[in-house]
Chains A and B, each alone.
Chain A
Amino acid sequence: MMDIKEIVKPENLVYGKSELLIDTIMHYCPGCTHGVVHKLMAELIDEMGLQEKSVGVAPVGCAVFAYNYIDIDWQEAAHGRAPAIATGISRLNPEKFVFTYQGDGDLASIGAGEIIHACNRGENILVVFINNGIYGMTGGQMAPTTLEDMVTSTTPCGRDVDLNGYPLKMTELVAQLPGTSYVTRQSAQTAPAVRKCKRALKKGIRNVLDRKGTSFVEVVSTCNSGWKMSPAKANKWMEENMFPYYPLGDLKDGEKGNPVSNN
């Protein structure tokens, strides 16, 4: 039997945590998508050598403590205002890689105005949009993205579209805006999905560096605590219920100035 010490050697390393992912206990629930997407952002910023260039804007939502996990400079936003704050940062510091990282309550509800206008102005930023169909942080209330009939603490009998309107497809909306250059919808529940998601985020970052306007990456996500499911069951539920309404794939990949999506 080999001793563990003999195995753990740099030359045997097949996988390592990015240096930019801070070594601390995350407050996310086990199984939460936020952790995976944090890891991808940390890896990309690391691999692309952007630590010094990056400024992240943390939202109000479960990702409010994103600044504790990725070792770059961050600014915390008021609820929904991240795109406006990112605008301020990016306009005065055009050489920086600026991104917002927002949940669906933050981006699609209280911050619907800010995101539309940032995308419409074609702000040179990346928007990472975690759509878990619920307000995670505050205990599972309805979000604009909550599916029809889905039970939340403010829709205890399921979302009734006559009372609460319809699940909002933000990604389709922003794809219509000429300010956006790259708009895509991804997920992160399997290894291939994670790899694809990483490629999408990487393209978004590249676009910012190439000053191509706004890139918008939605990640269809789970909130197993809010959905009151085990992580595995939540993934399955997402595939069966979220994906049909929020289909994955690129909605737009081109140049700023293009008013409609290219597919």
Chain B
Amino acid sequence: MTEEMIIAGFGGQGVLSMGKIIAYSGIMEDKEVTWFPSYGPEMRGGTANVTVIVSDKRISSPVLHEYDTAIILNQQSLDKFEKAVKPGGTLLYDPNGIVNPPTRTDIRIFKVEGTRESVEMGNPKVFNMIILGGFLKVKPILKLDNVEKGLEKSLPERYHKLIPLNLEAIKRGQEIVETVKEV
């Protein structure tokens, strides 16, 4: 198994930390992982993306030109990465702020109303976990137990009391993910 994915959106949406949780959960399943972020001057409101690879084998390139899965959280990222999904691959997006939805016909497309749902759950911070739930539903590459362990590892101790809330958000995401298009 090798899963090559990109997660892209605005800084502050929890893009990098979602990637980190996936990577840590991968380690909990004895997989090899890499997490490669975009980086730059610390500016408010900039874009952020991260390439995450989870595999049974030693991982070669941490940088890719095409992906099995793209998780897209704003229009700029959709414009940039829709074309980089491998044929037959998966694109998952949050429709909030998306004016031009994806158009490809040779990939699977899903949407998760993460922004709306996080407001309904009363905590915008769990947004990225709702998205993660949606992803795990359509691509069950990690067991939920291991995601829980991954959360424990990647969150500092003082945030551990928030793990149940995060797990709830992941479950919510699994429930609300909608299929836009199957191949």
Contact = CB atoms under 8 A, between A and B. Distances in A.
B1 interface: no
A139 B42 contact: yes
B44 A226 contact: no
A137 B41 CA distance: 6
B44 A140 contact: no
Interface residues of B, number: 4
B43 interface: yes
Contacts of A136: 42
Contacts of B44: 29-30, 225
B42 A27 contact: no
B43 A140 contact: no
A139 B44 CA distance: 11
A29 B44 CA distance: 6
Contacts, number: 16
- Most interface-central of A139, A140, A226 (chain B CB within 10 A): A139
Interface in A211-232: 225-226
Chain A contact residues (Cβ within 8 angstroms of B): what range?
A: 10 to 19
A167 B132 CA distance: 45
Nearest to B41: A137
Contacts of B43: 27, 29, 225
A226 B43 CA distance: 9
Interface in B11-34: none
Nearest to A30: B44
A148 B118 CA distance: 40
Nearest to A28: B43
B41 to A, nearest CB: 5
Interface in A1-44: 27, 29-30
A136 B41 CA distance: 9
Contacts of A29: 43-44
Contacts of A30: 44
B69 to A, nearest CB: 30
A234 to B, nearest CB: 12
Nearest to A153: B42
Nearest to B44: A29
Contacts of A226: 42
16 contacts: A27-B41, A27-B43, A29-B43, A29-B44, A30-B44, A62-B41, A136-B42, A137-B41, A138-B41, A139-B41, A139-B42, A140-B42, A225-B42, A225-B43, A225-B44, A226-B42
Interface of B: 41-44
Given A62-B41, A225-B42, 14 more contacts: A27-B41, A27-B43, A29-B43, A29-B44, A30-B44, A136-B42, A137-B41, A138-B41, A139-B41, A139-B42, A140-B42, A225-B43, A225-B44, A226-B42
